[in-house]
Amino acid sequence: MDFIVDYLSFFVVQGEGGDNNAAKTFTHYQTMDREDYADSELKSFLDGEFARIVKRKAERHPATDAAPTKIGRFIAEPGYELDSNPNYNTFQRLRTAADATEFHGFADELVRLYMDAAAVRGGAFIVVHATPNRYTDQPILFVLKCDFEPKIARITDERNLISHVEMAISARNMKSIQYPYMPEEGMLEYWELKIHQASHARYFEDFLRFVSYEKAMPELMNEQVLTMVHEYMEDKWQGHESEERQQEAHQYEAWAASEKRELQEAWSHEQVVAAADRLVEQQPNLTVAFKLGDVSVKGPLAEFGRSVHFATYNGRYVALIEGDFFQFDRSVSPVELLTPPDLLEVLEVVGRGKEKDDSPQNGNGSAGGNGNPTDNLPY
């Protein structure tokens, strides 16, 4: 997707963040119109970035709250329209600017808002009004925050702007805002924008104070599971208050608050499958991750009770995973040469290793044998 840049305002921010009392200043270097941009050194550097920003994928419910790319939505009270949101109004003024002078004035307002945010860092702050040359004639607003490479950046003056831009600005850590959000080519969501901040400092989330973001998937899943637990408790106790109920509720609270949780053995297989299905119906891409002993497993939550099963046998926990084929990555291992035995044969050895380890006759050395690693294979 190519863009025609209509207006671009270039600012330089000086001063480090982290200390609210630290001096932070900015300088406006140049505002360009379409002809100025076409002849500028910024064109070769930025033209490819616009397409990358638009095509960068973002999840409404990211896998982690620290996801670098997020979709934000303007906050409005029930019954009120978009123009009740200050952040939206700021962006909309920039999108509807009549000329480069007006665009510069609105961009100046934007950078002043940014300077009030915490963790502001030095670098280039670029505001761009661009129109796709296909799919739609509606302008897109890009806000870019670029760091300068130390000892390389060379800012000259308002006429020349920057010498050797491709060396001076690091695109690798470029932070960006795109408004409106474009979920598909030509489809614009005016209530939404997309931010990208590949940094632990949440520059734009702090900057855009009237924009909300959907909860990360783990947090969303936690809330929904706790809602199900509450429903289960209400159904089980039917409003009856007792010390036993309070104790059970406390156990669930302690379990949910713990970072390293163990199997609770509280619900039946059917109850767990039904609860998992409710979650998957809302979010099909949910995953389940667990550790059994020293082995870690991660897979789709939708497969629990279908191709992923939990069981006990000979006093041991067992995780059964079924499928049509195995696939191995990384280094070649002897496991890949196995002809799998029947499941019933494997079950015969489940728990035996534990019995041997617990046996008082078991010492640190091996009893007998010639040291051949294949001598004591269970099958």
**238 in the Ramachandran plot: left (φ > 0), alpha (ψ -120 to 50) or beta?**
left
Helix (H, G, I), strand (E, B) or coil at 141: strand
pLDDT in tens, 165-217: 444 566 667 899 999 999 988 899 999 999 998 766 677 888 899 999 988 88
pLDDT in tens, 319-360: 999 999 999 988 899 999 999 999 999 999 888 866 666 666
**322 in the Ramachandran plot: left (φ > 0), alpha (ψ -120 to 50) or beta?**
beta
Predicted confidence (pLDDT) at residue 20 exceeds the cutoff of 80: no
Mean pLDDT of 127-154: 82
Q: Which pairs with CB-CB distance under 8 Å and at least 24 residues apart come from 333-342?
A: 341/379
For residue 214, what is the DSSP state?
P
Mean pLDDT value across the chain: 85
Residue 369's pLDDT band (boundaries 50, 70, 90)?
A: very low
**3-state DSSP helix/strand/coil % of the chain, to nearest 5:** 35, 25, 40
Q: Which amino acid is at 126?
A: I
Torsion sign, CA atoms 357, 360, 364, 369 = negative
Q: Percent of the chain beyond pLDDT 90?
A: 58
Predicted confidence (pLDDT) at residue 65 exceeds the cutoff of 90: no
Sequence-ordered strand ranges (E) for the chain: 3-14, 25-32, 69-74, 123-132, 140-148, 169-179, 181-184, 187-189, 192-196, 211-213, 287-292, 295-300, 308-313, 316-321
Q: Which amino acid is at 234?
A: E
C-alpha 322/C-alpha 340 separation (Å) is 12
DSSP states of 333-357: -GGGG--PPPHHHHHTTTTHHHHHH
pLDDT in tens, 220-236: 888 999 999 999 999 99
Q: Could you tell me the pTM of the whole model?
A: 0.71
